[in-house]
Amino acid sequence: MKQSPFIATTLVVLLLAASATPAFAASGKTNQSGALVNDPSLTPIVQSQLQALSAEKDAANGIRTGGGISTMSLNSYGLVTRPVTNYRQETTYWCGVASARQALSFHKAFSGSSAALPSQSTLATRIGTTTSGSTTTGIASALNRYNGTFGSVSYLASDITDTANPYETFVNRIGTMLKYMVSSPTTPIILVETKYIPRYNGVSARHYMTISGINDTVSPMKMRSVDPHYNSAYYGIRWENVGSTTVNGLCRACYEADVRGTNKAMAW
């Protein structure tokens, strides 16, 4: 399950180019804590390239996404967690920024690096975050700038609705990145519509959070979310139901966020 040199080099160049567009359309803003609905950097060419890179990364890491399979095919992950520090977002629109810093806390611990984590302000600049929020391509691009500083850091912005089985894709991408010693393990960041997460009690916002664990030894399956929300009612680390594309939980929250705009569903 080794990542090809093509992904390692091409994805960094592509994501840096995609995030180079500084203007985030205000029209993409909704009731949110920092995630755009649409990503204006995603031209048809970039969209096609990112989809191809996602398929290649899936194949390189043995990730099943439902293609050619008539029934759901999930790997077995057991109970696995990664060390991720929870950071509260420092503004109402920096959930993507804080989620990126959370992800980097894993890479710092995993690599044993003595380098200091970048501040949220630094990451906001590198992501291209404005008061309208962040894009997933911007988050992936900013994270990849720390490749080498915190060991191997290689994230890709992807959708799940462009695969044959979005639920299978969601679970297998996250589970594989967390459990297996792939060439570049990650703690994936997901874009969600919060009203599909039961603990939000119907509160609707577009929001980013980091995933630091999976447990398929229980039913229903759970994942451990690291939520950077500025509101103490939502901030924290919790085991939450995965659900499905139709049953409330983290998967449905990500699926619905993906359906509603061009901003990518996950950085993984």
Give the number of residues written for the chain.
268
How much is the pLDDT for 22?
34
Query: What's residue 128's pLDDT?
Result: 97
Q: Which long-range contacts (CB under 8 A, 24 or more apart) does 43-52 make?
A: 46/14, 46/17, 46/18, 46/137, 47/262, 49/14, 50/14, 50/18, 50/137, 50/156, 50/157, 50/158, 50/264, 51/158, 51/159, 51/162
pLDDT value for 74: 79
pLDDT for the residue numbered 67: 60
Q: Which of 136, 149, 61 is nearest to 99 (CA)?
A: 136
Question: Average pLDDT by consecutive 10-residue portion of the chain (268 residues)?
Answer: 45 44 35 85 95 93 72 79 97 98 97 97 98 97 98 96 95 92 85 98 97 96 98 97 98 98 97
Predicted confidence at residue 1, as pLDDT, reads 44
